[in-house]
Chains A and B, each alone.
Chain A
């Protein structure tokens, strides 16, 4: 069964460093998302992406964040200058179409620790 994959599974970085989290969505999906989950808290929406542009972003997704689909398969989240509070599990998700009721399939997540 097709699945969303994410790399790396764990990343440790120093505050102020840039990190790139990578995702390979399900191959025939058109809509892509990033979410994050701070330890012990809710899963929070960051950004949705369709047709090579951002569809919607949350207040969390400020100027230090960016997303890109550099080729036909990868979908990346870049955090330009990491802060301690960026430590979280980051989930990528994809879905087939946005209109009315489509399941979002999540990857296994990347656990980011900022020191």
Chain B
């Protein structure tokens, strides 16, 4: 199976704290993308990391990729209440015509 797993399933933190979400997969990938989804809404692209990259930053977001462990992490620093959402990793597997396989997601709640 090409499915990925995410942990934790849910994360509750206070504003100002950092939030770390993890994602693992089973077979080789072209790239890995992280998306945010506010409750019942669309998917907002956050960041894409290619299989030959180890780390990328975008504002308060930091993504790492460890292809030897087949895992990725998304770090949100200095979290805000507006960061409350579900976060999904999505894999573009080699030779997959760019279809994305999504993880189950992490529900992040940031409390003021």
Contacts and interface: CB of A to CB of B under 8 A. Distances in A.
Interface residues of A, number: 27
B98 A48 contact: yes
Given A100-B30, A101-B31, A101-B50, A45 B100 contact: yes
**By DSSP majority rule, is chain A's interface helix, strand, loop, or mixed?**
strand
Contacts of B90: 43, 104
Contact of A106 (B30, B43, B101): B43
Given A101-B50, A106-B35, A43 B99 contact: no
B33 interface: yes
Contacts, number: 63
B96 A105 contact: no
A76 interface: no
Given A42-B103, A43-B88, A106 B97 contact: no
Interface in B19-37: 30-31, 33, 35
Interface of B: 30-31, 33, 35, 40-45, 48, 50, 88, 90, 92, 96-105
Interface of A: 31, 33, 35, 42-45, 48, 50, 55-56, 58, 89, 91, 95, 98, 100-109, 111
